[in-house]
Structure 1
Amino acid sequence: MSDDIRPATAADVPAVKAVTDAAYRPYIARIGLRPMPMDRDHAADVAEGRVFVVGDPVTGVLVLVPHEDHLFVESVAVHPDAHGRGVGRRLLEFVDEHACELGLFEVQLYTNAMMWENRKLYPKFGYEAVERRAEGPYDRVRFRKRLAPPSGH
């Protein structure tokens, strides 16, 4: 399996949907509804350059949305068959690299409060929980990670 993370292409859209659905499907019963990433317009996200993939076949997917002052991680999805292989770690490392390349030195993301695995995982990668709030039917915990600008910046 290649660990080169690359921008997704239109040909990747079915794999992006398949990996996203497989990654989030287990949470449906726990949170009582479909996680939002499952219902995104994957083709539109790919066309807008927001989606990055890893693996051949694709085993990991990132959806990243740059804002003026931070990079927002819309989704991190790793196919269950690839768990334990470092795919998620590599994707989160790429998020930091990509943010810095864009001149953004903060990364934000949120996870459903019922996805306790994520709530334990993100602090291990330097994220701090900064807010918990209900948004519609979703109980979300927002995380933030501040990145050090390169020297001379």
Structure 2
Amino acid sequence: MTNLRLATPEDVGAIEAIAREAYEPYVSQIGRKPAPLVEDYAAMVDRGVTDVAEDAGGICGFVILMLNGGARLDNVAVSRRSRGKGVGRALIAHAERMAQEAGHDEITLYTNEKMTENLALYPRLGYRETHRATEMGLNRVYFAKALAGHPAKPPRHRSRENR
């Protein structure tokens, strides 16, 4: 059974390790480190925007949800040992619930076009591609999903630096 909870400072090391597992394979495809490899996870935990999935083996995934200026799923990653077990989907559904509870009618996200697994996954979870853009030398694909029966609107929030 997987428990979802707000991350604590004690979780930062596990979050960083999961981010390395999830994103290091993309360095050669993208030609540089993706933003999640240079993220300050301690700061994200301190801001209270990071939740973790935990099972009997410990922390097995995390999600970062930004709720300022709209709801944006900023990052989701799952440990190798837990991939294919529904942890990522549970974390995304958790972020969607939190966004809805915070009064948002949609949630947005973006991914690098080289992360082809994500390009296939998000539409299966109800996200629709809204646009593509090259920002800071990165080719990004933006998605949105309506929450609470509202039609999705184009993303209101633009990317952060290094994303």
Q: Same fold (TM over 0.5)?
A: yes
Runs of 4+ deviating beyond 6 Å: none
- Aligned match of 2:67: 66
Percent of aligned pairs sharing the same letter: 39
Q: CA deviation at 1:81?
A: 1.9
Q: CA deviation at 1:8?
A: 0.3
TM score, norm. by length of structure 2: 0.87
Is this contact kept in 2: 1:50–1:64, CA < 8 A? yes
Q: CA deviation at 1:67?
A: 2.3
- Aligned match of 1:38: 37
Deviations 1:34-79 (A, max 9, x none): 11011111101000001110014111110111024x3111101111
- Aligned match of 1:103: 103
Aligned length: 148
- Aligned match of 2:116: 116
Q: Which runs of 5+ in 2 are unaligned?
A: 151-163
Deviations 1:1-48 (A, max 9, x none): x41211100000101111111111111111111110111111010000
Q: After superposing the two structures, state which structure 1 stretch, 114-123 or 98-107, moved more.
A: 98-107
TM score, norm. by length of structure 1: 0.92
C-alpha RMSD of matched pairs (Å): 1.4
